[in-house]
Structure 1
Amino acid sequence: MNTVAQITTDSAKFKDKKRKLWLLGLVVPNIANVAMLGYQFGPKKAKKLFAAAGPIVLHGIIPVIDRFLGEDSENPPEDAIAELEADPFYEKVVNLYIPLQYIANIYGNYLASKSSTPLSDRILIGLTLGVVNGVAINTAHELSHKAGKRQHYLSHLCLAPTGYNHFRIEHPYGHHLRVATPEDPASSQFGESFWKFWPRTVTGSFKSAIEIEKRRLERKGLSFWSVHNELLQGWAMSITYHAIMLKMFGKNIIPTQIAQSAYGITLFEAVNYMEHYGLKRQKLENGRYERTMPVHSWNNNSLFSNILLYQLQRHSDHHAYPTRSYQALRHYENVPQLPVGYASLFLHVFIPKYWYSIMDKQVIDYYQGDINKINLYQPAKENVLEKYSDYFNAKNNQEIKEVSK
C-alpha cells in the first residue's frame, strides 16, 4: 500500500519553506546568459569553458550540490493544497523562465553568428543552449497540464527552439493514458538501453501526437489540416522562431541550432527514460490495465534538482494527480525510489552498462523476482533471463531453462 509521507505542521499555519527557493528554477537560463557574457568579454583562454558552461554545470556542479543539500521529503498538509494551487506566485515563477530562455537563445545565437567564432565553439554554445531548452521542455510540461489555452500556447513557446511541439499533445493525452505499459513509447523497458529507447520514444511519441490530434479534430468534424490543429500551430511557432533566428544571424548559427535541439531533446528523453524504467501496470481480468498509481513511477526527493525542475522528480504524485501543480506535489513512502537525482544519473543513462548496474536489481527486487510483472524489452528477453537467472524466483525457473536450451 502506498502512503503519503506526513508532516506535523499545523495546516492553518502552513508556510511553504521553499517559496523563495522556487526562484532558483530561473538559474538555468541565467547560467547560460552569464556564460555568454564570459564568452564575449572574458579571457580568450577560457572561451571554451564559457561556451560549454551548460553541460559542465548540469553534469558536474548540480550533482555535487544535490549531494551536499540532501533530500527533502516534507509534504504540505492536504487541506493546504487548494491554497497553494491558488497562489499566483508559483505560476509567475514558471512563466518567468520563458523570457530568460529566449534571451539566452538570442544572445547565444548572436555570438555563434560571428565569423570569429570557431565551429567547435558554435557547437558548444549549442550544447549550453540545449540545457536551457531541455529544461524548457520541463517548463512546457508544467504548463501543458493546465486547462487554459494561454498556458498551452506558452507551452508551445517553450518548445519552439527544440521543435518538440508534439510533446504538448502527446504527453497529457498519450503518455498519461498508457504510462508504464508496453504500448507507451515514453516508458522505458527493462533491458532497453537509452540508445534503443531514444529513437523509439521520439518517433513513437511523434506518431502518437498526430493520431491524438487527428481524432480530436475528427470528433469536431474538422480536417487534420484545419487552422484549429494545435500541432500545426505549434510547428508554425517553431518554424517562425527558427526563421527569425536565421534572418537575424545568418547560416553560421545552423550548427548551434542543430546542437541545441538534439541535446535538449536527448536530455529530456533521458529523464523520460529514468522515470518509469521497467515498471509496469498489471492487466486486470477484463483485459484492461490497472489504474495508474504512484508505484508506476520512480520517485526522488533530491532538494536542489527538484527546485530546478519544479519537483518533476516527485513523479509518483504527478502521475497519480496529473493536474496538481508542482508546489503541491507530495512525496510517497513505499514507492520505487531512484538512488540519486536526475542530474546525477544522466551519465549513467548514457552508458547503459552503468545504468543497468544500479537499476536492474532494484526493478527485480521491487517485483520480488517475478519477471512477468516487469515491463520487459522483448528483444533483450533472452539476455536478461540469462544475466539475472539467479535473481528470478522459482516461478520463472522453467522459462529460464527453456531459454537456455
Structure 2
Amino acid sequence: MLQPLANAQTMSAFKKLGFLSIYLMILLSNGVFILTHGQFTWTGVLFAYGVVPLVDALMGKDKNNAAKEDFERLMNDRFFDSVVYSLVYVHLIQLGLAVFAILTYEMTLFQWIGYVLSLGIFAGTMINVAHELGHRSSKTAQFHAKLTLMTVCYMHFFIEHNRGHHVWVATPHDPATARKGQSLYAFWWQSVTGSFRSALAIERRLLEKANVSFWSIRNNMIWAVLLPLLFCGLLTALGSWKAGRLAWEVIPFFFGQSLVAILLLESVNYIEHYGIVRREIAPGKYERVNPLHSWNANHLFSNLVLFQLQRHSDHHAYASRPYQVLRHFDESPQLPFGYPLMILMASVPPLWFSVMDRRLEHWRGYAYDSQHIAQVVREMA
C-alpha cells in the first residue's frame, strides 16, 4: 500500500484535484476507441472494474473529514461545482461522438458489446452527477440533473429519489432498499419497477394537491417518458443526416447504454442499503435516519471517481450536503471493498451472502442499542 499523504492540508489539495479522475474514464471509454478507429471498446469496463479496484488497494482508505475551519471555504469553492456541471456537457458531447463513431467504424458484436458497456458505465457515473445536482435547491442545478437523467431514460429518479427513497430508506416501503437474502438480480426488478410506480404515485399526489389533471403538461412523469424518446429521435436524426440513410444503429446503442447505466445505479443502491432496516417506533413511523443506516466504503480512489458517494450515511443524514464535505463515521457499517469490487461480488449471490450476511448480523448487534444510537446522533450533529 502507498504511504498516506503527509498532512491534512496535502490530503485536501490531493482530493480536490482527484475529483478530476472521472475524466480518465471519459478518455478510456471513448477517447481510446476513437483514436484506435473502433478497435478497443472494452477500456471503460477495464478501468471501472480493473483499474479502480487495483488503485483502491494501492492507495488504501481515507477517513479524513474536512476540518470545521475549512468547511465554509470548501462549500463556497466554485471548483467543485465546475467539475460536476462541466461533466453534464462533456457527457452530451460524448454521446454525439458515440453516434459518429458507431456510424463510422465497423465493429464485431464483441466490440459493440464492449462499447455499449463502456459508455453505459460512464453514463451510470453521470446518474451520480445528476444525483448530486438533484439534491440542490437551485433551479439551475435541478435543470442539469434532469437533463442528465434524460440521457439515460431515468428522469423519474429525480422525483422518487428525493421524495420517496430519502423518506422511506431502510424500511419495507422503499423499493431501493434490498432485503436480507435478496439477490442482486431480484432486486433489480424490485427497484426499477417499484421506483417507477413510486414516482408515479408521488407525482399523482402532487397534482391532486395542486388540483391539476393527471394528463396535464405539468405532469413530470409524462415528460420523464417523452423527453428521452425525443432525445433518442434527435440523435437518430443527426446520425441519419451524417450517414445519408436511416441510422437505425443509434436506437439500440442509446437504449443499451441507458440500460447499463440504470442497472449500475440499481447495483449501487443494492450494496448501499442491503439488509439494513430502521426500527419501527410506532405503526408506520420509523426512527430518524442516522449514520448506522447505510453501508459505507472509504477506499480513496473509488470515492474520488464517485464524488464520495460511498460516504453514504452522511448523505442520507444531510441530503443537501455537497460531495466535497461529506463525512466519514467510524460507527457506520463498512464494506470490505469499494463499490466497483462490491458490485462484482454482488453479481455472484452466494459469494455476496457469505460475506455480507455476517457483517449484517454484526450490524444488528449494535444498531438497535439505544445508548449507541444516541452517541452516534450526537457525533453526527
Aligned to 2:159: 169
Alignment of 1:69 onto 2:59: yes
Q: Does 1:82 align with 2:79?
A: no
Residues 235, 27 of structure 1: alpha-carbon distance in 2 compared, 3 angstrom cutoff: farther
Tell me, in whole angstroms, the C-alpha distance in 1 between the residues paired with 2:45 and 2:198. 31
Would the aligned equivalents of 2:177 and 2:274 in 1 still touch at CA under 8 Å? yes
1:352 and 2:342 equivalent?
Answer: no
Q: 1:392 aligns to what?
A: none
Note if contact 1:187-1:276 (Cα within 8 Å) is conserved in structure 2: yes
Aligned to 1:18: 15
Residue 212 of structure 2 is matched in structure 1 by 222
Counterpart contact for 1:299–1:338, Cα < 8 Å: yes
SS in 2 for 1:284: strand
Aligned partners of 2:253, 2:327: CA distance in 1, in Å?
38
Deviation (angstroms), 1:57: 1.4
**Structure 2: stretches of 5+ with no match in the other structure:** 1-6, 240-246, 369-381
Distance 1:30 1:102, change over 3 A: farther
For 1:30-179, list aligned pairs within 5 A. 30-40=27-37, 47=39, 50-114=40-104, 116-179=106-169
Question: Cα offset for 1:226?
Answer: 2.4
Deviations 1:298-345 (A, max 9, x none): 011111111111100000100010000000100001110001100111
Q: Aligned equivalents of 1:354 and 1:119: distance in 2?
A: 30
Equivalence for 1:309: 306
Deviation at 1:368, TM superposition (A): 2.7
Alignment of 1:208-287 (within 5 A): 208-249=198-239, 250-285=247-282, 287=284
Q: SS where residue 251 of structure 1 aligns?
A: coil
* Aligned ranges 1:163-202 → 2 under 5 Å: 163-202=153-192
Match of 1:402 in 2: none
C-alpha distance in structure 2 between counterparts of 1:79 and 1:230, whole Å:
41
Whether 1:291 and 2:277 are equivalent positions in the alignment is no
Do the aligned partners of 2:156 and 2:196 also contact (CA within 8 Å) in 1? Answer: yes
| Change in 2 beyond 3 A, CA 1:287/1:227 | closer
Structure with max Cα Rg:
1
Moved more, 27-36 or 90-99: 27-36
Find the aligned partners of 1:120 and 1:109 in 2 and give their Cα distance: 18
What are the Cα deviations for residues 138-194 of structure 1, in whole angstroms up to 9, with x where unaligned?
011001101122211211221122201111111111000000011100011110000
- Identity score, percent: 36
Note if 1:321 corresponds to 2:311: no
Match for 2:170: what amino acid? A
Counterpart CA distance in 2 for 1:232 and 1:9 is 48
TM-score (norm 2): 0.87
Superimposed CA distance per residue, residues 275-311 of structure 1 (whole angstroms, 9 cap, x where no aligned partner): 0111110011455110111100001111111111110
For residue 16 of structure 1, report the CA deviation from its aligned partner. 4.9
